[in-house]
Amino acid sequence: MEVANIRRKRDGRITIKAGSKAEALMVSTLMILAVLTMIGFLLFDYSGLELKKAISETGNNLKTMFLEPALTHFSWGEAIYQVGITVGLAFLATVLGAVISIFLALFAATNLSNEWVSKVIRIFVAVIRAVPTVLWVLIFAIAAGLGSEAAIIGMLFHSIAYLVKAYSEVFEEVDEGTLEALRATGSNWWHIVMHGVIPSTLTYLMSWTFLRFEINFSVAVAMGAAAGAGGIGFELFMASGFYFDLREVGMITYAILVVAIILEIISTRLKNRYFPSQ
């Protein structure tokens, strides 16, 4: 970001003009957001709110949730099974999405495809990406019914839109000299992709795929409750909204956190093992 404009006059003197249009726009945007936030707090309906009591009860709830976690409505075996369902939903949506996205991204990359084809695909995935995942799930639930099928299809749609953008931008970063060298040897489009594009971008493709897998795991937790897809998300919904068992909510939250950390460790180790030099 440009912090100052430096200009040299004809007599050799240098004048420094603080600020720039980009900086002014950023500062004004932050100020507007701060003012709107303050206005929002002032317009809240605080009638009947006892702040001291609310803070005390919130502290007690958090203490019960995170310092006294326990499973009361299902066993550890069932908990592991439900976590496995959630991971499975995320894995299936990610794998299918990654396979489809690679082919679409090849045609969306401006250095590998026709300009109009690239624009059409980019606009299409931008529209899909603009719609929240839960809304896609509810749309497909009309046809497939609430359950894991609607959840996977909805997550798949959003995963494709996300990965096509990420993959295509990675493909566009490939050195143009490499592509020209392959074309000069008489390689066709498919040979250029298989021998020039994919090998040089494989590390980044894996990184984006693992990142989307972690996102899909979080989404699958929410879809377990919103779409009736089952898994640990449904158990979290039941514990918080039906049983109102804060201890069980805390234990499920810890389980989700542990799985997220394990997924991050696995992705890092796989990347370091199979792509250590890239």
Question: Average pLDDT of the chain?
Answer: 83
DSSP 47: T
Short-list 101, 53, 86, 44, CA closest to 229 = 86
154 contacts 140 by C-beta, under 8 angstroms: yes
71 contacts 238 by C-beta, under 8 angstroms: no
Count the residues in the chain: 278
pLDDT digits (tens, 9 = 90+) for 89-108: 899 999 999 999 999 999 99
Short-list 237, 212, 214, 241, CA closest to 226 = 237
227 contacts 219 by C-beta, under 8 angstroms: no
Instruction: Give me the amino acid identity at 62.
Output: L
Q: What is the pLDDT of residue 31?
A: 93
pLDDT digits (tens, 9 = 90+) for 216-244: 998 888 887 777 677 888 888 888 877 88
pLDDT digits (tens, 9 = 90+) for 127-185: 988 888 888 888 887 777 777 788 888 889 889 999 999 999 999 888 888 888 888 88
Residue 13: pLDDT band (50, 70, 90) is low
Residue 53: pLDDT band (50, 70, 90) is confident
Which CATH entry fits the domain spanning 71-274: 3.40.190.10, 1.10.3720.10, 1.10.10.10, 2.60.120.260? Answer: 1.10.3720.10
137 contacts 227 by C-beta, under 8 angstroms: yes
HEC-encoded secondary structure of 105-160: HHHHCCCCCCHHHHHHHHHHHHHHHHCCHHHHHHHHHHHHCCCHHHHHHHHHHHHH
Q: What's the burial of 139, exposed, middle or buried (CB within 10 Å: 0-12/13-18/19+)? A: middle
Q: Where are the domains of the chain?
A: 71-274
pTM for this entry: 0.76
Residue 19: pLDDT band (50, 70, 90) is low
Q: What is the pLDDT of residue 197?
A: 87
- pLDDT, average across residues 101-129: 90
pLDDT digits (tens, 9 = 90+) for 22-46: 788 888 899 999 999 999 888 877 7
- pLDDT, average across residues 115-137: 88
DSSP 19: -
- pLDDT, average across residues 202-228: 85
Is the predicted pLDDT of residue 1 greater than 50, yes or no?
no
